[in-house]
Amino acid sequence: MGTSTADTRLHMDCCDNFVQMIAGTKRWFICPPQDARELLPIRCDGIHHSLCWASVKYPNANPLPSGDKAKLDKTSCFTIEIKAGEMLYLPAGWWHHIENVGPTVMVNMWTMGCENVAVALDKDPLRSDRPDLKKCPNIAQTTAAFLLK
C-alpha cells in the first residue's frame, strides 16, 4: 500500500521482479541495463551489493536539473503506467524509478536466477573484466565492483 506521494529513487535490483497492481496506478520510469554508463551508479547496497542507486535520483522531477537532463538524453529510458489489474515483469538489472499516481495497492515478487542476473548486469560483453557466469554465488559483488569502476 502506498500514499499518493510515495516514490522510489532510480535504482537497479539484482532480481527479476513481477508486479501486480491491485488498486491505483504507478508510473514507472525504466532504463535498460546498457544505460548504466549514463546513469552513473553512485552506490551499491545490500549484503551482496545487489541494489545500485543511479546518480539521477528523480528522472520525472519538474524541473529536471540540467545535468540530469543531459544524462537522460543519452539513454533509451521510457515511462509507462501500470494500472489496477495489470502486471509488469521487470528483468534483473533494469533501472527503474517508481511513483504513485494517487493511493495504490501493489503486490510484487522477486525471483533470482543467477545466470539471468549475470546476463542482465553484464553491461559490456567485450570487456575482459565482465562478471563471470560460472561464478554465480559471487555475481552480485562482482557486478557491484564492475558498475562502480
Q: In whole numbers, what is the pLDDT of the chain averaged over residues?
A: 77
- The pLDDT value given to residue 115: 52
What whole-number distance in Å separates Cα of residue 31 and Cα of residue 11?
Answer: 10
The least confident of 15-19, 25-29, 87-91, 118-122 is 118-122
- The pLDDT value given to residue 135: 46
Task: Give per-residue pLDDT as tens, 44-102.
Answer: 776 666 788 888 888 888 888 888 999 999 999 999 999 999 999 888 888 999 999 99
Please identify which residue in the block is written with the cell numbers 525471483: 111
pTM of the predicted protein model: 0.71
Please identify which residue in the block is written with the cell numbers 509507462: 80
Is 20 a residue whose pLDDT tops 90?
A: yes
Is 8 a residue whose pLDDT tops 60?
A: yes
Backbone angles phi, psi at 8, to 5 degrees: -130, 135
Q: Which comes out higher in pLDDT, residue 113 or 90?
A: 90
| Sign of torsion over alpha carbons 96, 8, 139, 92 | negative
Backbone angles phi, psi at 122, to 5 degrees: -80, 95
